[in-house]
């Protein structure tokens, strides 16, 4: 969806969870401040919000909140905005000549809705077909986590994971399905506890019906330990 200057209903766009691009909309000067400077600045902003709400920040329980939230934003839940934290892209040669599909399923997703700054919690299922390169399995989890740790739109997260793995593995044959609950839907607004959102992105061979079905069948398998 394209947003242009005529679009004057930005609130409705956010309320409907419609994203504008598959790239995270970062400004050119996004990394001019150090992480330490960002924490110091955000700390004052959080303080301002809590004080505006009428809270007494001299209270022992609230005293540390601005600093705690600022550190959490910069280092943890939005840490994936920092390109230095991107998982390194090393791959291995596929020595086993394994040419079938590899599926990594039930990867935990903790992200944050960029329209309400509330959690998105769910599972990602990722698959690829090797063209000679393979990645360590934990690398897939780390890639999911890196892109999840941003203000996100679930569709964009799904696409970013696929694009990154296509890059790393040097193949189009990558797919991702995410099934997640948005706390902004579950806990406020319409307050629907049961609903979850499923998004998918199928690249290369996964656009073919058979391959896609095989992947979706693997996801359905109930893995017992
Ligand atoms: Zn939301």
CA of 199 to the centre of ligand 1 (A): 15
Ion ligand 1: residues, Cβ under 5 Å? 113, 115-116, 184
Distance CA 125, CA 140 (A): 10
> What does DSSP say about strands 151-152 and 101-113: parallel, antiparallel, or unpaired?
parallel
Catalytic residue numbers read 113-116, 154, 182, 184
Query: Residue 102 — φ and ψ, nearest 5°?
Result: -115, 130
**55 CA to middle of ligand 1, Å?**
25
Reading the block at residue 52, the tokens are 């505006």
Ligand 1 center from residue 186 Cα (angstroms):
10
State the pTM of this model.
0.88
Gap from CA of 207 to ligand 1 centroid (Å): 29
Query: Angle at CA 133, nearest 5°, toward 130 and 134?
Result: 80
204 alpha carbon – ligand 1 mean position (Å) = 31
Strands 119-129, 101-113: parallel, antiparallel or unpaired by DSSP? Answer: antiparallel
End-to-end alpha carbon distance in the chain: 43
Task: Render each residue's pLDDT in the chain as its tens digit; 225 residues.
Answer: 333 434 445 666 666 666 667 899 999 999 999 999 999 999 999 999 999 999 999 999 999 999 999 999 999 999 999 999 999 878 888 777 777 899 999 999 999 999 999 999 999 999 999 998 889 889 999 999 999 999 999 999 999 999 999 999 999 999 999 999 999 887 777 778 888 999 999 999 999 999 999 999 999 877 666
Cα 8 to middle of ligand 1, angstroms: 19
């Amino acid at each position: 969806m394209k947003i242009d200057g005529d679009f004057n209903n930005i609130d409705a766009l956010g309320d409907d969870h419609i994203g504008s691009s598959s790239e995270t909309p970062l400004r050119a000067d996004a990394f001019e401040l150090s992480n330490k400077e960002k924490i110091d600045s955000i700390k004052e902003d959080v303080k301002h919000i809590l004080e505006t709400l009428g809270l007494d920040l001299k209270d022992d329980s609230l005293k540390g909140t601005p600093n705690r939230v600022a550190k959490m934003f910069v280092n943890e839940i939005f840490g994936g905005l920092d390109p230095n934290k991107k998982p390194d892209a090393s791959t291995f040669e596929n020595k086993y000549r394994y040419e079938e599909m590899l599926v990594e399923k039930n990867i935990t997703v903790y992200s944050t809705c960029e329209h309400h700054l509330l959690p998105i919690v769910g599972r990602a299922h990722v698959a690829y077909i090797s063209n000679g390169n393979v990645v360590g399995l934990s690398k897939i989890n780390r890639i999911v986590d890196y892109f999840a740790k941003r203000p996100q739109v679930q569709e964009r997260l799904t696409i970013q994971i696929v694009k990154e793995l296509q890059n790393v593995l040097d193949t189009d044959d990558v797919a991702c399905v995410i099934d997640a609950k948005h706390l902004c839907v579950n806990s406020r607004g319409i307050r629907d506890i049961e609903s979850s959102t499923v998004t998918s992105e199928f690249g290369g061979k996964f656009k073919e019906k058979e391959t896609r079905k095989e992947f979706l069948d693997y996801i359905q398998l109930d893995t017992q330990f």
